[in-house]
Chains A and B, each alone.
Chain A
Amino acid sequence: MTTDVSNLGGRQAGGALAVELTGLEGLKLPRKSWFPRSTVIRVLSPLILLVAWELIVRIGKVGEIFLPPPLSVLRVFVRLTADGTLPYAIWMSFLRTGQGFLYGSLLGIIVGLFVGWSQIIEDIVDPLVAAIYPIPKSALFPLFMLWFGLGDPSKVVTILVGVLFLVLINTVTGVKTLNPILIRAARDLGASERQIFLKVVLPGALPNIFTGLRLGAGIALILVFVTELEATNSGLGYLLWESYQLMLVQQMFACIITFGILGILSTWFIQWLEKVLCPWSTTVTRQ
């Protein structure tokens, strides 16, 4: 009797458990609760905060110029979305962040894998990383403007460098903490050095690579804001800064909230990617 394994696509709940459960009828077993208490509380908590915020401003204890009521922020948010201002700003910021993040993380993963794998490459790269890593990456932005001009490239490169180091360091950790017996087992099963690199080192480092990507996404958002304060008239950071200078408080809040939403979306995206690419990882199963 052989199973056609090509059809075993999805993850089965391998029979054993279901079998053990028969014959337990009549016992009082714990049941899945119908009331999603945790979810309800999690939705209520920010809602109550918003209501309180609205009330406090309405009652007039705080000047609207410092803290506009949520509803008026929402109104401005809708207007800015409808007239295209916000979508355009988001798109411009997304292009800069996306490019910087993509190139930075690819470079970080590739260099990180080699650094973790080869002592010689580590000896070459490590002192450079140690020297550059502690510099706040926003401090490099003026230098990059000098080198790459006032346009987008200097912003992209700043983001790239910020992401690169975080991904690189975490990738190296991933390779270094890989259990050496796995490499030995792969070699014992006939894997070539190249195959070990691609089929053992890379997947083995993936959970750490994802830690780097998560941190990198955070720094990318910070850096896109910082770099858009200067030498541009587009992007979310620019819009926020302009709102401040024109004292458009509602618009400021709309931008801040948008930054928050983008942060959440990028986190979700990376979590989703991790679930797809490393379904075995404990950080995935814990979520």
Chain B
Amino acid sequence: MENICAIRNLTKVFFVERTGEYVHALDRIDLDLNRSEFLILLGPSGCGKSTLLFMLSGLDHPTSGEITFTEKSHDNKRLTCTVFQEYALFPWRTVIDNVAFGPEMRRVRKRARYREAERYIELVNLTGFETRFPNELSGGMRQRVALARALANDPEVILFDEPLAALDAQTRRVLQTELVSIWSKTKKTFVYVTHSLEEAVLLGERIVLMSSRPGRVKEIIDIADIPRPRSTTNEREVKVLAMLAEHIAAEVDKSMRREREL
């Protein structure tokens, strides 16, 4: 297992200018990312999962501690790319121009970046929709475009922030399956935030359990050995699910009690 990124002693404190308060979002996080793994971040709402992704993306900086990637970025190439729950597609760009956005920013020639984009559009099963605008697509299709856009930028790590949370159950199932297949085809490292225990068990190789605010790594569960395709009704999966549920319930309970005390 090759280490691709090391998070050491990472703490994040937000300062809310409006109220003058401090928010202790993440507390001394230690975590390693392995190359080509499917890592799940799971924890109660507000425990800092999105914040951790934001730090990993390099667009915000930790208050203390550090994040070190083994690869160094060159030619302005990004090491990570994010897929957001809200898709965040550019409404004025067609599907192919959305997917080719990253290469375009690196001034890749039109022909070359379209060829690249086309490859990923095919990978996410959107061939034929290249010239559509995002508002002409369904939610599931939009998220496929967002995924293709992240892949086309060819980062080391793809960060997912609850990418399927806004979709209906049917579409979510389909996309979960496709995600796993794309992950195994592309061999990219996936860091995947979700609220859904089922999703964590269906997709993940390692599940990082986080505690409620301030976010800490409470436990890391390795389930890489559960064979795929997985199902939420198999014995092993059911056991992991029960364990996760117990943990989450305890954390939610803890944070609610604390809120009542405040």
Interface residues of A (CB under 8 A from B): 1-3, 5-6, 8, 10-12, 14-16, 179, 181-182, 184-192, 195, 199-200, 203-204, 206, 278-282
* Contact between chains at B57 and A188 (CB < 8 Å): yes
Which of A8, A184, A278 is within 8 Å of B130, CB to CB?
A: A8
* Contact between chains at A278 and B82 (CB < 8 Å): no
* Contact between chains at A189 and B105 (CB < 8 Å): yes
With known contacts A189-B149, A190-B76, A5–B92 Cβ distance under 8 A: no
* Contact between chains at B130 and A5 (CB < 8 Å): yes
Number of interface residues of B (CB under 8 A): 40
CB distance from B59 to the nearest CB of A (A): 6
Which of A1, A3, A189, A279 is within 8 Å of B102, CB to CB?
A: A189
Residue of A nearest to B159 (CB): A188
**Pair count A-B, CB < 8 A:** 92
CB distance from B79 to the nearest CB of A (A): 10
* Contact between chains at B92 and A189 (CB < 8 Å): no
* Contact between chains at A280 and B119 (CB < 8 Å): no
Residue of B nearest to A12 (CB): B131
Question: Can you list, as one digit per residue, whether each of B114-155 has a CB less than 8 Å from chain A (1) or not (0)?
Answer: 110111001000011111111100000000000001000100
CB distance from B151 to the nearest CB of A (A): 11
Q: What residues of B have a CB within 8 angstroms of the CB of A5 in the complex?
A: 96, 114-115, 117-118, 130
> Complex: how many Å from CA A97 to CA B86?
43
CB distance from B190 to the nearest CB of A (A): 16
* Contact between chains at A185 and B96 (CB < 8 Å): no
CB of B69 closer than 8 Å to a CB of A = no
> Complex: how many Å from CA A192 to CA B82?
17
Q: What residues of B have a CB within 8 angstroms of the CB of A14 in the complex?
A: 128-129, 131-132
CB distance from A18 to the nearest CB of B (A): 11
Q: What residues of A have a CB within 8 angstroms of the CB of B111 in the complex?
A: 6
Q: Which 7 A-B pairs have the closest CB atoms?
A: A185-B88, A189-B102, A203-B92, A280-B133, A5-B114, A191-B105, A181-B88
